[in-house]
Structure formats: C-alpha cells, structure tokens
Amino acid sequence: MTEKIKNIVESVIDGDIEIFKKNLIAVISEKIDEKLTEVSREISANILEQNPDQAKAAAELQKADAEKKALFVDPMMAKEFFLFDVDYKGYTITIKSLGTGINKPVIAYINDEQYEVFADKSVAKKESMQAIDKMIEKGITDLKYLRKSKEQIQQMKKAELEKQKEEEKLAKMEKESKK
C-alpha cells in the first residue's frame, strides 16, 4: 500500500473529509497522468516505426507540452508551491499555494503538519498564529487536539496510552515467544 493510499485510509478513519478529498484527487490525478504518459509513449513508438522524423518532432512537442503543463496547468490543484515560512512562539508556520492561478487557495502547515486551507495567505498566517496561541493556552502540542474539548483530549490521550500499552504487551509477548 503506497503512502498516498495510507493517507486516504487514515483520513477516512479520522473522518477528515477535506484531507480525504485532497488525497483522493491527488491519487486520481497521478493515475491519469501515468495513463496519459503511457498512451503518449505508445503513440510515439508507433510514429517512430512509421517515420523517424515525425517521431522526433512529436517527442519535442510532447516535452514542451509537459513543461508547460507542469508550470501553468494544474486543474486538480494537486501541486503545492512554497510561499513562505514564519516562526511564531517556537512553531514554524509554512504557507503553500495549492495549484496555480489567480484565486488559488493556500494551505497552512504548523510544524510540517497540515492545519487548514484558506483563501488568502494573510488570513492563513493570522489564523495559524491564533491556532498556535490556542494550542499554547490549552497546553497541547499536537494539532489533532486543537478543536477538541478538554474531555475529548483526555479521552483521546487515554486511548492512545492504552493502545501503546497493548502494543508494548504484544511486543513483549512476541519477544518471549521467540526465546
């Protein structure tokens, strides 16, 4: 299972529809690009067999088209482009644009973990700083706890501790069974 598929499954388990959509679109876009490249190569191979001069021209055209597509066309907005970093109260906020174009959305990352998608980079910066302030106020270090109540945070941490203890028990039992 690839990392992208794992991310899709995790977002479904977490119930995060926005990340699920983003990851699914990225995987679908990648598969479409792979298929288009494969078909293009097959066509180029057929042309090469029939006329080597046409094949050379087609290859140059294909290369130019691929470069243009990479730079200007991203209809699925699957590519992120770095805009800037901000250090704020010991956290690093990274702002990236999602795709290209006039009304492109931006994604804010806090310590390399995706926080939220925004319409404007200044709003993304401001909201990320407010999120960091809330994290500091609540005494949490993980973004997944940001929008949870104290009770929910305690339940999540308790579940994580229980899961960790179970994993340790299983590892210990496996170790003992190998002896």
Last residue within a domain, chosen from 34, 55, 72 = 72
Please indicate, yes or no, whether residues 121 and 94 belong to a single structural domain of this protein.
yes
Domain that residue 176 falls in? 148-179
Domain count, the chain: 3
Please indicate, yes or no, whether residues 96 and 68 belong to a single structural domain of this protein.
no
Please indicate, yes or no, whether residues 155 and 137 belong to a single structural domain of this protein.
no
CATH number at residue 108: 3.30.1880
* pTM of structure: 0.47
Half-sphere exposure for 136 (CA within 13 Å, toward CB): 10
Q: Kindly report the three-state secondary structure assignment for every residue of 93-160.
A: EEEEEECCCCCCCEEEEECCEEEEEECCHHHHHHHHHHHHHHHHHHCCCCHHHCCCCHHHHHHHHHHH
* Tens place of pLDDT per residue across the chain (179 aa): 677 777 778 878 888 788 788 878 878 878 887 887 787 777 767 766 666 666 666 667 666 666 555 544 455 556 788 889 999 988 899 999 877 777 788 889 998 888 888 888 899 999 999 989 988 888 877 777 677 777 777 787 888 888 888 888 888 888 787 76
Contacts of 36 (CB under 8 A, 6+ apart): none
Please indicate, yes or no, whether residues 58 and 10 belong to a single structural domain of this protein.
yes
115 and 109 in contact (C-beta within 8 Å)?
A: yes
